[in-house]
Amino acid sequence: MAKKKEIVQEDIVEEIIRADYSDEMSSSFMDYAVSVITDRAIPDVRDGLKPVQRRILWAMKQLGLASAGDYKKSARVVGETMGKYHPHGDSSIYEAMVHMAQDWYFNHPLVDGHGNYGSVEGDDAAASRYTECKLAKISEDILLSDLDKEIVDFVPNFDNKEKEPTVLPAVIPNILISGTDGIAVGMASKMPTHNLGEVIDAVAALLDDPNLTTDDLMEYIQGPDFATGGIIVNKSELPEIYRTGSGKIRVRGKVKAEKGERGKINLVISEIPFTMIGAISNFMNNVAKLVQTKAMPDVTDIKNLSGKEGIRIIIELRKDADVEQNINMLYKKASLEDTFGYNATLLSKGVPSQMPLDRILREFVEFYRETQLRKYTNLLAREKKAAEIREGLISAIDVIDTIIEILRGSDTVAQAKACMMKGDTEGIRFRTPACKKIASKLRFTEIQADAILDMKMQRLIGLELNVLVKELEACRKNIDTYSGYLSSKTKLNKKLRQDLLEIKNKYAVPRKTQILDLEAVVLKKPEIKEEKVYALVNRFGYVKLIDSATMERNSENVFKDYRHVLEVMNTGRLYVFTEEGKCHQIKAKDVPMSRYNDKGVPLEQVSALTTKENYVSVVSDFKPKDRLLFATANGNVKKVQVSEFDSSRRTTDATKLQQGDAVAAVVPLSGKGNIVLITEGGFIVAFETGSISVLKKNSVGVTGIKLNKGDKVIFACETDENGCFTFDEKEYKLSDLDCGKRTTRGKPMKR
Same domain, 471 and 545: no
Residue at 68 is within a domain: no
In a domain? residue 273: yes
Q: Which of 21, 32, 94, 130 is catalytic?
A: 130
Task: Assess whether 604 and 489 both reside in one domain.
Answer: no
- Assess if residue 52 is contained within a domain: no
Q: Is 358 helix (H, G, I), strand (E, B) or coil?
A: helix
| Residue-wise pLDDT tens digits, 491-513 | 999 999 999 999 999 999 999 99
Q: Is 566 within 8 Å of 603 (Cβ atoms)?
A: no
User: What pLDDT is attached to residue 5?
Assistant: 47
**Is residue 173 a part of any domain in this protein?**
no
Across residues 543-554, what is the average pLDDT?
91
CATH of the domain at 260: 3.30.1360.40
CATH number at residue 438: 1.10.268.10
**Helix, strand or coil for residue 602?**
strand
Do residue 621 and residue 492 come from a single domain?
no
312 with 457, same domain? no
Measured between alpha carbons, how far is 375 from 360 in angstroms, rounded to an integer? Answer: 22
Task: Return the closest-CA partner of residue 524 out of 264, 319, 324.
Answer: 324
Whether 425 and 538 map to the same domain: the answer is no
Q: Are 345 and 352 in contact (CB under 8 A)?
A: yes
Catalytic status, residue 105? no
| Residue 712, φ and ψ in degrees, nearest 5 | -155, 155
Phi-psi region of 77 (alpha: psi -120 to 50; beta: other; left: phi over 0): alpha
pLDDT at 1: 44
Q: Do 491 and 606 fall within a single domain?
A: no
Domain that holds residue 292: 254-335
CATH code of the domain covering residue 738: 2.120.10.90
Residue 4 has pLDDT above 50, yes or no: no
pTM listed for this prediction: 0.72
Q: Mean pLDDT, the chain, as a whole number?
A: 89
Domain-located, residue 456? yes
Distance CA 303, CA 290 (A): 15
**Is the domain of 463 the same as that of 551?**
no
**pLDDT at 586 (0 to 100):** 92
In terms of domains, do 664 and 587 share one?
yes
Q: How confident is the model at residue 29, as a pLDDT?
A: 52
Residue of 362, 49, 372 lying closest to 203 (CA atoms): 362
| Listed residues 506, 541, 568: the one ending a domain | 506
**Do 708 and 600 belong to one domain?**
yes
- Pair (671, 560) in one structural domain: yes
Inter-CA distances, 58 with 78, 175, 176, Å: 12, 17, 21
- The last residue of one of the domains, among 506, 541, 574, is 506
Structural domain includes residue 18: no
How many structural domains does the chain have? 3
Considering the domain architecture, whether residues 591 and 719 belong to the same structural domain is answered as yes
Domain contains 118: no
**Mean pLDDT, range 218-232, rounded to an integer:** 95
Strands (E), 208-357: 231-232, 246-252, 254-259, 265-271, 299-304, 313-317, 337-343, 345-348, 351-354
Q: Which of 311, 335, 359 is the last residue of a domain?
A: 335
Establish if 602 belongs to a structural domain. Answer: yes
Question: Are 536 and 425 part of one and the same domain?
Answer: no
Model pLDDT for residues 629-661, shown as the tens digit of each residue: 999 999 999 999 988 888 888 899 999 999 989
When pLDDT is averaged across residues 239-249 and rounded to a whole number, the result is 95
